Amino acid sequence: MGFKACLIAFVVFSLCVVTKAELHEFNLPDGRSIKAEIVDFNGRLGLVELRLENGKVKKVKPALFVEADQAFIKNWAELSGFRSPSSFKVSGKKKQIEKWKNEEEGQIRYSDGSVETEVISVEKFEKFNYELLLENRNATSLEGITLKYCIFYEQSVASGSGTKRSEAVMNQKVVSGAMDVPALKANGKAVLTTKPVVIHEKEWSGDYLYAGGDPIKEQGDIHGVWIRVSMTGADGEPVIRDIYEPSGIQGKFTWKE
């Protein structure tokens, strides 16, 4: 066998080793058992598709097996549907829930010596949250979902005093939270709401000379939300999915709880 043929054989063998499934032992009420891999579960028909040790594929009712194996099949179906972005869709939408402004007045002295009270700055506030939409498009329910999130935003504030008052400090901020979804019915939806985030901008009026130096504009911005959903498998290990809105924030921020 030539080098190329040996290489192809090695790759095929390696793929077989990697993709070889771990068989589960399914027990029948009469004491018999079979070893098989779950291939699929059809929730509409209530049939589980099994691949036996000999490679044959069978479709049977989960009720054929003891209760522990019925629970194993149900958990497998839930996790399979949970992993699939098309079967279990998670998305986040930023929503403005409130806005307001504060005006600051100051004493303005003119060249003729007169003094008047005028608005010297306007500070505008915006309060946002995220509506997190969970859509279960499976024919089976999803139970025991945990959802966590991190909202990443920034806010600049004027800093210093005297002639350095015009310097600004940009603060990177995070608001995080967690929520449980005990059960999400088949073809059901759930809308969850995050904690609010408040950002502001502050602008100064006119061409006045300010004591302590010219102030700068303060401003804030929301970068996005990182959503993390998880379910626990029959083996006690969590299955985790990460969703980013917008997708461009992936890799730019660190998860914080």
In the numeric block, the tokens 């779950």 are attached to: 38
Q: What domain count does the chain have?
A: 2
How many whole angstroms separate alpha carbon 229 and alpha carbon 87? 14
Q: How many C-beta neighbours within 10 Å does residue 199 have?
A: 19
In a domain, 4, yes or no: no
124 or 205: whose pLDDT is higher?
124
227 and 153, same structural domain?
A: yes
Average pLDDT over residues 50-73: 94
175 and 240, same structural domain?
A: yes
Length of the chain: 257
Asked if 217 and 203 count as a contact pair (C-beta separation under 8 A), the reply is yes
In the numeric block, the tokens 């809105």 are attached to: 245
What local confidence, expressed as pLDDT, does residue 104 receive? 84
221 and 116, same structural domain?
A: yes
pLDDT tens digit string along 71-112? Answer: 999 888 889 899 999 999 999 999 999 999 999 887 777 778
Asked if 122 and 202 count as a contact pair (C-beta separation under 8 A), the reply is yes
Bridge partners for 151 per DSSP: 175, 225
**Residue 149 reports pLDDT greater than 70:** yes
39 and 98, same structural domain?
A: no
Nearest 5 degrees, angle CA 73-CA 77-CA 83?
Answer: 140
167 and 69, same structural domain?
A: no
Expressed as residue numbers, the domain containing 32 is 23-83
What local confidence, expressed as pLDDT, does residue 203 receive? 82
Reduced to 3 states (helix: H, G, I; strand: E, B; else coil), residue 200 is strand
Residue at which a domain ends, from 83, 101, 124: 83
Asked if 118 and 134 count as a contact pair (C-beta separation under 8 A), the reply is no
What local confidence, expressed as pLDDT, does residue 213 receive? 56
In a domain, 255, yes or no: no
How many whole angstroms separate alpha carbon 126 and alpha carbon 98? 6
Domain holding 79: CATH number?
2.30.30.700
In a domain, 212, yes or no: yes
In a domain, 257, yes or no: no
How many whole angstroms separate alpha carbon 158 and alpha carbon 165? 7
Q: How many C-beta neighbours within 10 Å does residue 51 have?
A: 16
Max CA distance (Å), the chain: 105
227 and 110, same structural domain?
A: yes
Mean of per-residue pLDDT scores for the chain: 85
Asked if 159 and 167 count as a contact pair (C-beta separation under 8 A), the reply is yes
Residue 166 pLDDT level (bands cut at 50, 70, 90) = low
73 and 95, same structural domain?
A: no
254 or 167: whose pLDDT is higher?
254
Asked if 25 and 66 count as a contact pair (C-beta separation under 8 A), the reply is no
In a domain, 33, yes or no: yes
110 and 72, same structural domain?
A: no
For the chain, where are the E strands, in sequence order?
A: 24-27, 33-42, 47-52, 57-60, 88-109, 115-136, 142-159, 167-184, 189-193, 197-204, 220-232, 238-245
70 and 121, same structural domain?
A: no
